[in-house]
Every structure is written in C-alpha cells, then in structure tokens.
C-alpha cells in the first residue's frame, strides 16, 4: 500500500490519523496533541535501537493453539433487549443517518 | 492492435454451519431483523469471539477439493474500517496466513479444458445488512458473524465467459464438497470482480477496477461485458483508467463509480489478539481428505467408461452431485447404465423441472427405478406401460411391481393370447391384408397398433410384430 | 459511578437466606465493589466514558458470574480512567477520585476508584483490571493489596477491552489472604474466552505458609535506577531485607530489556486499543452525537464528543503505529521486543521463584501534577507494564509510607501461573510487618 501519511517532524499527522480513526479533532486539539504525540513517537522510536532481526513477534501472552468451539446454536439476545440499548431504532432495526455510497 | 482483458474473482461463500463463526447465534436465513444476535456478533463491550470448529473444517475441505496447499499454521487478523453494518468496525479475517493457498478450478469452455489458478482461500466473518429508507438507513445484524470463505482467484481469466465457467465449476465443486448450500438468492455466493485492460502482448497489466458484491452469475457476466467495453472506450479515446471500486446496477445495466473517500483504504491489519492460531497436523488433514467426494470432473470421466453412457449424459448427470448419486445407485442396482441415464435424463429431470422440485424431494427411490428397468429388460413390461408406472412412482412413490399389478399392466407374452388378439385385428381389418400384399408395409404397423389397443397396451409389441408379419406372409 | 442498592440488598438477603439454610459458598454475602469496566447484567458499564452513557449490560462477565455463584454481593461500581487509560483516575469523564491517604493526591489508576474504596475502608474488596499496572499501581498508591494474575488465568469475557493481549482482571483487597480467596473464585478456563488457559486452579490460601524458607527471590538491577524516589527505594529495600529474614535467599537477576518496556507497551497497547474502541460508534449502544449527516459524519462527531483527551491521544497513536508505512517500524518491532521482554523473565525465573521490585517509581502525587505531560505519566508504568507484556503475574503489597504519609508498594512478580508463590511471599511479608 502506498505510504500516504504526510510526514511531520516525527512522522505523525494528528489530523490525518484522527480521521482514519473516525474522530473529528478541533484545531485546538490538533495544536495540543501534535507536540505531545510527537514527543511520544520520538520516545517510542527508541525501539529502533534494538536489533530484532530473527526475533519472532509475540501476539499472545500465552502460546495456545486451536481454541475452538463445536458448531451449535444457543439463544442470544431478544430484539427487545438489543433495541433497549440502541440510540435510534425502528421496527427492530438500528437506525443510522442515511448511508450514501 | 486489439485489447486483452484480465479478470480475477474474489468469491465469498457462506459455509454450511448451524451457528455463526464466533458465537452460537443461528445462521438461519430470513429471520426477523436483529433476532439472531448476541453480545459477540453485536460487538458489545467485553464480548469475545470463539472460533467455530466446523467453519475451519469446511474451509480446509474446500481447499482440499480445489487442490490447495493447507499450511500447518494459520491465524486470524483484524481488518479495520468503519461501516454501519460492521459491529466492531473491524472485521476478523485472515491477512497473511490463510487456511488454504494455491489450488485451481478446472473449466471446459468451447471444448477446451483449462485450469484457473487460485491464490488462496481464507476464512472471515460476514457483516450485517443495511436497508435504505428516505432519510435514514436501518441495520440488521443477523448476518453479521456468519462464516464466509473468500476464494481468491489469480488474475487468470480473460473473457466474461471464462469467468462464468469458473464460477459454475466452482459452485459445482463446493456443492460436491457439501461445504455450502451455494444458494445465490440467499447471498450464499457473492463475487467481487477485478478487471483490467491491456494491449495484446503487453507485459504489464492495466489499471484495474473492482466491481463489488455481485450475487448472480448473470450479473457478473453482464458487468464484465459492460466494464470491458467501457475501459476499452476510455483507453481508445486516450483516457486513463482510475483504480477504483465500481458498482453494478442490474437495472440500468451499467457500472458506476462508488464514492471514494479522500483517504484510500488503510486496513491496519494486525493479528487478532482474542483468537489463537489454528495449527493443523498432517493426520488431521489426511483424515479430512479421506472423506472427500470424487470431484465432478473425475466422476464424469468414470461414468462414461463405467456405464457406457455418452459424455453429454455424464455431464448432465454429474452436474448435481445428488443427481449423479441417484444415477449411480440406479445404474448399479439395475446393471443397465444406459437405461438408468435415459430414465433420469428424459423423464425424471423433466418432471423435476416442470414441478420445480429438487432431487432431494423426489419420491421415487433408486431401487424402484432400478426395479422398473428390470421389468422392462425382462420383457414383463413394455415401454409405454413403463412410462405410466414411472409417472405413478414419481407422483406417489412405491414399488414398481405393485404398481404394475395394481394397474394390471403386466405384459402379455403368451403366444396363444397374442394370436387371439392378432386374429381379431386381422378379421376386423381385411383391407389391411390387401394393402400389405400390395406392398404397403405400414399396414403391418397399423395392425400392430390395433393389437396393442385390443390388448390395452399389455401385449408384447415385439411378439405381436413378428406374428403379424408371419401370418400375413404365410397366406401368400 | 453507580450504586445498585436494591440489587445489592436483594443479593445480600439471598445470601442471608442461604446462610440460614446452611448453604456454604466461599464468598456468601461478601460485598465486592466492581470497576466500571466489567459487564454486570442490568447495570450500566460506563468505563468512565461519556460514549457509554445509556448502555446497560445485558450479560454478566464470566468473573462476575463466578463471584455471583460464590455468593458475593455487588455493592456498586467504582470510578476509573476512561477505558482504563491512565494512572491517576483523572481521566474519568464523570468525577474526581481522591487518595484516601491525602485528598489532594491522586489514587492512582486506572482502577483508582476500586483502590480508594478498599484503601479508604469503604469496601471490603474490589475488582480491578490491569493492562499496564492499573491494579498494582493504584493499590500501591492507596495502601492496599492488588493482584494482576497471569494472562489467561481469569476469563476476560465481559471485561471491556483496552488492550486484549495485556488485560487481566484481578482482586484489590485489604490483605493477601482475601486476594487469594477472590482469585480462587474467579480463576479457570472459560469457553467464552479463547485466551483463557486450561490450567488447574490450586487452593491459593493453602500456599500462605507465613514463611519464605527455601524460596529464592530475585532483585533486578534495572528496577533500582535513577528516577526511583529514594523513599520508595529505601522502603522496598527494607522489605527485601524482611524477606531475607523470613528465610528467602535473595539474588541479583537481570531483566535487560526493561528500558524498552514503555515504548513497547505504548505501541502494542494503543494499537490494540485503536481497534477495540472502534466499536464505540453510536450505532448499537451508548451515546450518539446529534446532527450527523451520514454515518461517517455521525461517527466523527460521536467519537469526538464521547471520548476524552487521553483516549483520543491513544487512539491516534495506536492508529498511527498500525497505519500503512509505519506498521513494521513500530507495531511489528514492538511485538518483537515483546518477545525479548518475555525471554528476560523466562531466564530470570530459571534462577529464582519470584522477583521483588517497587510497584511504581514514586508514591501518589498531587491531582493535576502530571496531567499535561503524557510521556512523564507513561513512564510511571515502567515497573508494571513489563509484567503485562511478558504475561506473567504480579502482586502489589503495601510496604510502608513516605515521610508525608503516602503508601509505598512492593511488587512481587511471579512466573506464568506462579500466583501461589507471589501470594505466599506477599502474605509472609505482610504478616511479619503486621507483627512487628
């Protein structure tokens, strides 16, 4: 994939990344976060000091494999239960602003 | 100079499981909105996925049927993007270590056989479904979390017809493997199509467009035809193809660009921390391999040689595994493959089609049809009567001998009885004798018909013919 | 956060009935406060966030279900840093929680509400969650016991995820014995959590022998470095001496990659969090911002309005380290360094049964003191986050106070599923301190 992130001093573009994460950030927030994040990114970049060639990455703290369940149906939640938590709903469906494709 | 199209397909196939991929909610189709849901498939805070063993098995089974390599180690990853039908706003999929790699699908097109190469098959969860109202959209998560395998072909096809042959053969193989119902109406098999155009002989592929989420083969074909023509037009007018996602509109019969957000997709894949890797052993894979059915292509060849039926018949009979199974059961029980093929091709498939029935709903058993063939072969039943018996068996089931007796259709092969009918027919039609002697051979056929009528169809037509011939000639 | 008085009373009455009927259960009638990050049927679970306003849990977390079955009574929900992100509980979007030993000081975090409730004597016991020290550090700040069990020891099902490969639920209690009892009630494999481990659950209270004879305890030089408050170091070293007196052999060990732990932790934790928190979008539950013109617009506004600053910072950081062009340099490298950190512990535990360190470089500090310096705040997790990265267990036990009366915590780190050992060490130390 093309490297599309614009490079700031430490390579982080707060506004761009916030948009990837679907969060609107105000100009004030960008102004506050940008130096803080730059500082953190700069600190985190110390990982590059280490030679990690040939080291396997760890994704899980315990080395389990094949944790599987048998195929079988169990009752879940009722429609009333899930609609009780919905910010907006109609006729058993979750409502969202109209999806424009 | 002419243009060459290059086509690759990504086909999402719903696996035949009772429950969803990561929770125990039903995969049943057509339920009321949001009635097959739970904290897991709704992405509630704190809910966690647990992998359905059957989904893994069915994916590997598909891979084995399609000649894929099955790596011993496979893992799941999160693919992040926001969409209202995505409960967690990431999809659990497989990024770099899928369950199956490589493989291929054999197709035959205009008599030419070739193999379309596969890249991989991975397992992932389906998303929900949205419906659009005037000012809002509604989301139903019943489908969210249903297990899908994504079968990715290489960019290895060049015409819409090849793509359809690929999908048809793929569907046949998946049905044989009994891994999916492949019910297109229920969205069990949906394809994304990648297509690009390049000058013939060019070493590099052109820029591709992707057409998303088509659930009919005809849609794929029409969309490809349209898109190939569109891209060639653009290029011939000196334009450029932009890499984009397009949507097929089946009513307008055209593709159109889907709105692309300024930020192209950055899926930010990373290993799913809530799921552990799948590690398969050689023994496990071998055990699954041992349960695979014969692939349809091999079966067609075997049917021709084993039962002596034409290649065309073998193609029709093997197209649906259940039909093929039925045929083979009849052929083996009756010892008459040709008759079995004829009955199934001309009578049974026609009736099934007329009555919009599936072979699984049929009442006539392979044993009954084999019995019917036996009655004909032994001369106990003539072919007209046999058709009547078959119709009865098809409608109500039962034992052919019992039907024959109940309807009084047992063929008369007693020469004395036949002679009586023949004499009656000759006596009633003296003109026929005259005609025969004047060289009109069809007069004999007329008399045979009369005998069959007098015997209510029960007389053995071969014996009747011989006797009439003899009687008419001997008076000479 | 919320108080379920009716529910708690009903549970307590039920417990009384059972007790009267002669029924026995390990926690019958025992009140337990629950960090607001765990799902309890019929109760809100805000995770300290505006974005979960209105959400009512329709199910019990497995740990909750197990405590319920053991007869515990759930008295109320405790405050926390929003989505467990923070070390002071100042990141709660609802209210300020103060340190019971000095009301101007932070209680630590993220399980600050649970720690303050137990440390302040309001609750007998509480549950916390620990991703980088969120049980141990507030326990240390508030002068109570806090245990981060081995990853996979207690099911995470129903624990709202911050960083799935690091999170663990654990008890926060007045003494080590109570922690052992709660651990025993909650531990064990769970078919709803693929990462829970099928290991038998020992009778932890049976391990509490009161002495340390035959045990070897390791002292990692990397945890006694510049930046550790002298009072903290002195208290911890005194505790080490006490352990020696109790029969333990003390030896130096090395955890050479400790200095990379915070960098590794903030890469992995924020990466996982950025995906875990993507589900908070205003569609299925929680709060939704008004005026969204389409779903994308609605998400942007809902998440802008619903998340607090620290959560936003971490989501941005986590999104960044996973994004195209940076994934390998940050996320993948972080995962590899995680392997090195795990190996450090494996090697150290070849020569010792448990490791003694400070929980935190400092005791509690003033409210507001570090709120505007995220990096300084992050560095405070140095001695605890290593354990989450490696996946083993760690116990915080009070070991004295500063000159201003603020509690100091001793951390006892054990190997994978070494809870019995660390509880034994913590208990022996605690008992001998109480007796002296």
Best interface-test mutation with B: which of A13, A93, A96 has the largest number of B CBs within 10 A?
A93
CB-based contact B268 C285, cutoff 8 Å: no
Tens digits of per-residue pLDDT, A10-20? Answer: 589 999 999 99
CB-based contact C194 A67, cutoff 8 Å: yes
Q: Could you say which DSSP state residue B394 is in?
A: H
CB-based contact A20 B263, cutoff 8 Å: yes
Phi, psi of C416 (to 5 degrees): -55, 130
Q: Any idea which of B382-386, B472-476, C146-150 has the lowest mean pLDDT?
A: B472-476
- Closest Cα partner for B92 from B61, B52, B45? B52
Chain A residue whose CA is closest to C374: A36
pLDDT > 60? residue B391: yes
Looking at the fold, whether B275 and B315 belong to one and the same domain comes out as no
What is the Cα–Cα distance from B409 to B421, expressed in whole angstroms? 16
Which of C134, C140, C155, C274 is catalytic? The answer is C134
Looking at the fold, whether B46 and B86 belong to one and the same domain comes out as yes
Mean pLDDT of B148-166: 97
Does residue C110 carry a catalytic annotation? Answer: yes
Q: Write down the pLDDT at residue C2.
A: 72
Token look-up 């390998």 returns: C328
HEC per residue, chain C: CEECHHHHHHHHHHHHHHHHCCCCCCCCCCEEEEECCECCCCCECCCCCHHHCCCECCCCCHHHHHHHHCCCEEEEEECCCHHHCCCCCCCCCCCCCCECCECCECCCCCCHHHHHHHHCCCCCEEEEEECCCCCHHHHHHHCCEEEECCCCCECCCCECCCCCCCCEEEEEECCHHHHHHHHHHHECCCCCCCCCCCCCCCCHHHHCCCCCCCCEEEEEHHHCCCCCCHHHHHHHHHHHHHHHHCCCEEEEECCCCHHHHHHHHHHHHHHHHHHHHHHCCCCCCCCCCCCCCCHHHHHHHHHHHHCCHHHHHHHHHHHHHHCCCCHHHHHHHHHHHHHHHHHHHHHHCCCCCEEEEECCCCCCCECCCCCCCHHHHHHCCHHHHHHHHHCCEEEEEEEEECCCCCEEEEEEEECCCCHHHHHHHHHHHHHHHHHC
Q: Write down the pLDDT at residue A4.
A: 41
Name chain C contacts of B83, Cβ cutoff 8 Å: 295
Looking at the fold, whether B89 and B160 belong to one and the same domain comes out as yes
Three-state secondary-structure class, residue B239: coil
pLDDT > 80? residue B331: yes
Name chain B contacts of A77, Cβ cutoff 8 Å: 37-39, 42
Tens digits of per-residue pLDDT, B423-464? Answer: 888 888 888 878 887 877 788 888 888 888 888 777 887 888
Q: Could you say which DSSP state residue B99 is in?
A: S
Domains of chain C, residue spans: 2-260+334-435
C59, C163, C194 member nearest B51 (Cβ):
C194
Looking at the fold, whether B279 and B373 belong to one and the same domain comes out as no
A3, A33, A77 member nearest C325 (Cβ):
A3
The CATH topology of domain C2-260+334-435 is Amidase signature (AS) enzymes (3.90.1300)
Tens digits of per-residue pLDDT, B43-69? Answer: 999 999 999 999 999 999 999 999 999
CB-based contact B56 A68, cutoff 8 Å: yes
Q: Write down the pLDDT at residue B117.
A: 98
Domain count, chain B: 3
CB-based contact A33 C313, cutoff 8 Å: yes
Chain B residue whose CA is closest to A78: B35
Looking at the fold, whether B274 and B125 belong to one and the same domain comes out as yes
What is the Cα–Cα distance from C408 to C93, expressed in whole angstroms? 27
B14 found inside a domain: yes
Neighbours of chain C (3+ CB pairs under 8 A): A, B
For chains A and C, what is the number of CB pairs under 8 angstroms? 189
Q: Write down the pLDDT at residue B260.
A: 58
Asked if residues B189 and B77 have their Cβ atoms less than 8 Å apart, the reply is no
CB-based contact C283 A87, cutoff 8 Å: yes
- Closest Cα partner for B192 from B211, B209, B208? B211
Looking at the fold, whether B334 and B304 belong to one and the same domain comes out as yes
B252 in contact with A at a CB cutoff of 8 Å?
Answer: no
Three-state secondary-structure class, residue B189: strand
Domains of chain A, residue spans: 1-49
Mean of pLDDT over chain B = 92
CB-based contact A98 C294, cutoff 8 Å: yes
What is the Cα–Cα distance from A100 to B19, expressed in whole angstroms? 32
Tens digits of per-residue pLDDT, B276-330? Answer: 999 999 999 999 999 999 999 899 999 999 999 999 999 999 999 999 999 999 9
Residues of chain C scoring pLDDT < 70: 5, 9
B54, B130, B141 member nearest A99 (Cβ):
B130
- Crossing angle of the two packed helices C230-245 and C419-435, in degrees rounded to 10: 100
B207 found inside a domain: no
Best interface-test mutation with C: which of B33, B39, B48, B271 has the largest number of C CBs within 10 A?
B48
B184 found inside a domain: yes
Per the structure, the complete domain to which residue B299 belongs is given by: 294-407
CB-based contact A64 C325, cutoff 8 Å: no
Three-state secondary-structure class, residue B433: helix
Q: Write down the pLDDT at residue B183.
A: 92
CB-based contact C263 A47, cutoff 8 Å: yes
Neighbours of chain B (3+ CB pairs under 8 A): A, C
Alpha carbon C54 to its chain's center: 25
| Strand pairing category for B129-132 and A89-90 | unpaired
pLDDT (tens place) for every residue of chain A, 101 residues total: 334 444 444 589 999 999 999 999 999 999 999 999 999 999 999 999 999 999 999 999 999 999 999 999 999 999 999 999 999 999 999 999 998 76
Q: How close, in Å, is residue A36 to chain B by CA atoms?
A: 23
What distance, in Å, lies between the first and last C-alpha atoms of chain C? 38
What is the Cα–Cα distance from C103 to C101, expressed in whole angstroms? 7
Q: Write down the pLDDT at residue A3.
A: 41
B259 found inside a domain: no
Q: Locate C42 and state its tokens.
A: 């019929």
Asked if residues C31 and C259 have their Cβ atoms less than 8 Å apart, the reply is no
CB-based contact B38 A91, cutoff 8 Å: no
Looking at the fold, whether B56 and B168 belong to one and the same domain comes out as yes
Q: Domain with B454 in it: what CATH number? A: 1.10.10.410
What is the Cα–Cα distance from B469 to B441, expressed in whole angstroms? 10
Looking at the fold, whether B438 and B353 belong to one and the same domain comes out as no
Phi, psi of B4 (to 5 degrees): -125, 130
C149 in contact with A at a CB cutoff of 8 Å?
Answer: no
Write out residues 36-95 of B within 8 Å (CB-CB) of C. 39, 42-51, 78, 80, 82-84, 87-90
For the beta carbon of residue B117, count every other beta carbon within 10 angstroms: 16
Name chain B contacts of C59, Cβ cutoff 8 Å: 39, 44, 47
Looking at the fold, whether B384 and B459 belong to one and the same domain comes out as no
Looking at the fold, whether B386 and B426 belong to one and the same domain comes out as no
Name chain A contacts of B34, Cβ cutoff 8 Å: 79, 82-83, 92-94
Which of C49, C110, C111, C114 is catalytic? The answer is C110
Last residue of a domain, one of B351, B373, B407: B407
B210 found inside a domain: no
Tens digits of per-residue pLDDT, C331-341? Answer: 999 999 999 99
Q: How close, in Å, is residue C263 to chain B by CA atoms?
A: 18
Q: State the greatest distance between any 2 C-alpha atoms of chain C, in Å, as a whole number.
A: 69
Distance (Å) of CA B377 to CA B111, B340, B369, B400: 35, 12, 12, 14
């Amino acid at each position: 994939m093309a490297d599309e992130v614009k490079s700031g001093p430490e390579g982080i573009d707060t506004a761009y990344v916030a948009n990837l994460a679907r969060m609107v950030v105000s100009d004030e927030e960008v102004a506050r976060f940008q130096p803080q994040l730059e500082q953190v990114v700069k600190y985190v970049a110390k990982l590059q000091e280490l030679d990690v060639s040939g080291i396997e990455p760890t994704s899980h703290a315990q080395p389990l494999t094949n944790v599987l369940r048998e195929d079988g149906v169990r009752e879940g939640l009722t429609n009333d239960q899930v609609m009780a938590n919905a910010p907006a709903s109609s006729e058993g469906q979750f409502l969202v602003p109209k999806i424009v494709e | 100079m002419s243009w060459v199209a290059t086509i690759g397909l990504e086909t999402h196939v719903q696996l035949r499981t009772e429950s969803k991929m990561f929770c125990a909610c039903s995969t049943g189709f057509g339920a009321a909105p949001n009635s097959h849901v739970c904290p897991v498939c709704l992405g509630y805070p704190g809910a966690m996925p647990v992998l359905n063993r059957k989904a893994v098995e069915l994916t590997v089974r598909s891979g084995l049927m399609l000649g894929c390599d099955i790596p011993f180690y496979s893992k799941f990853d999160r693919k992040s993007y926001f969409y209202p039908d995505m409960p967690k706003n990431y999809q659990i999929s497989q990024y770099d270590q899928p369950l199956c790699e490589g493989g291929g699908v054999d197709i035959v097109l205009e008599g030419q056989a070739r193999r379309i190469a596969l890249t991989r098959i991975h397992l992932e969860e389906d998303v929900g479904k949205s419906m659009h109202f005037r000012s809002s959209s509604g989301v139903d998560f019943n489908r969210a979390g249903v297990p899908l395998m994504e079968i990715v072909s290489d960019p290895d096809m060049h015409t819409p017809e090849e793509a359809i042959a690929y999908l048809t053969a793929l569907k046949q193989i998946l049905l044989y493997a009994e891994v999916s119902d492949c019910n297109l109406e229920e969205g069990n098999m949906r394809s994304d199509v990648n297509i690009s155009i390049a000058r013939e002989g060019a070493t590099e592929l052109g820029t591709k467009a992707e057409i998303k989420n088509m659930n009919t083969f005809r849609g794929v074909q029409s969309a490809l035809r349209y898109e190939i023509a569109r891209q060639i037009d653009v290029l011939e007018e000196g334009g450029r193809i932009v890499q984009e996602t397009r949507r097929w509109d089946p009513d307008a019969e055209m593709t159109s660009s889907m709105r692309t957000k300024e930020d192209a997709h950055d899926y930010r894949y990373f290993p799913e921390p809530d799921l552990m890797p799948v590690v398969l052993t050689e023994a496990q894979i071998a055990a699954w391999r041992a349960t695979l059915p014969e692939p349809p292509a091999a079966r067609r060849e075997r049917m021709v040689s084993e039962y002596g039926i034409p290649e065309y018949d073998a193609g029709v009979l093997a197209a649906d595994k259940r039909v093929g199974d039925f045929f083979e059961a009849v052929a083996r029980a009756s010892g008459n493959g040709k008759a079995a093929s004829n009955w199934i091709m001309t009578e049974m498939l026609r009736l099934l089609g007329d009555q919009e029935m599936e072979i699984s709903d049929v009442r006539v058993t392979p044993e009954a049809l084999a019995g019917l063939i036996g009655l004909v072969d032994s001369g106990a039943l003539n072919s007209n009567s046999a058709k009547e018996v078959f119709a009865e068996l098809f409608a109500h089931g039962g034992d052919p001998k019992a039907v024959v007796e109940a309807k009084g259709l047992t063929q008369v092969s007693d020469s004395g009885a036949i002679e009586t009918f023949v004499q009656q027919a000759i006596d009633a039609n003296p003109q026929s004798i005259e005609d025969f002697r004047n060289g009109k051979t069809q007069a004999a056929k007329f008399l045979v018909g009369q005998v069959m009528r007098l015997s209510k169809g029960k007389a053995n037509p071969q014996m009747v013919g011989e006797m009439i011939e003899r009687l008419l000639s001997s008076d000479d | 956060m919320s108080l379920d008085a009716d529910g708690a009373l009903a549970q307590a009455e039920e417990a009384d009935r059972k007790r009267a009927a002669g029924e026995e259960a390990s926690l019958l009638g025992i009140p337990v406060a629950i960090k607001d990050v765990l799902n309890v049927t019929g109760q809100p679970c805000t995770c300290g966030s505006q974005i979960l306003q209105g959400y009512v849990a329709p199910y019990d977390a497995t740990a909750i279900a197990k405590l319920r079955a053991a007869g515990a009574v759930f008295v109320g929900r405790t405050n926390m840093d929003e989505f467990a992100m923070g070390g002071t509980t100042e990141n709660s979007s609802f209210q300020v929680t103060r340190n019971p030993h000095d009301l101007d000081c932070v209680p630590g975090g993220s399980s600050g509400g649970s720690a303050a409730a137990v440390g302040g004597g309001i609750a007998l016991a509480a549950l916390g969650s620990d991703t980088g020290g969120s049980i141990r550090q507030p326990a240390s700040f508030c002068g109570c016991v806090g245990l981060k069990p081995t990853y996979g020891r207690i099911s995470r099902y129903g624990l709202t995820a911050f960083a799935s490969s690091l999170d663990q639920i654990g008890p926060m209690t007045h003494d080590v014995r109570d922690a052992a009892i709660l651990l025993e009630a909650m531990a064990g494999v769970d078919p709803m959590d693929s990462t829970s481990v099928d290991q038998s659950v020992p009778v932890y209270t049976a391990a509490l022998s009161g002495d340390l004879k035959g045990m070897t305890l390791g002292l990692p030089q990397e945890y006694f470095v510049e930046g550790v408050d002298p009072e903290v170091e002195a208290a911890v070293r005194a505790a080490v001496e006490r352990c020696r007196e109790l029969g333990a052999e003390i030896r130096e060990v090395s955890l050479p990659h400790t200095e990379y732990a915070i960098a590794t932790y903030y890469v992995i934790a924020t990466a996982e969090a950025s995906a875990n928190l993507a589900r908070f979008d205003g569609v299925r539950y929680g709060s939704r911002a008004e005026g969204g013109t389409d779903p994308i617009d609605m998400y942007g506004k809902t998440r802008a309005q619903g998340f607090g600053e620290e959560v936003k910072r971490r989501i941005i950081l986590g999104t960044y380290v996973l994004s195209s062009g940076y994934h390998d340099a940050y996320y993948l490298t972080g995962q590899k360094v995680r392997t090195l950190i795990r190996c450090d512990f494996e090697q150290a535990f070849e020569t010792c049964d448990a490791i003694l360190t400070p929980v935190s470089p400092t005791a509690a500090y003033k409210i507001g003191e570090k709120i505007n310096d995220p990096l300084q705040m992050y560095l405070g997790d140095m001695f605890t986050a290593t354990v989450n990265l490696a996946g083993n267990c760690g116990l915080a036990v009070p070991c004295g106070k500063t000159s201003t009366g603020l509690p100091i915590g001793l951390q006892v780190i054990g190997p994978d599923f070494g809870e019995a050992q660390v509880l034994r060490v913590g208990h022996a130390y605690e008992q001998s301190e109480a007796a002296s």
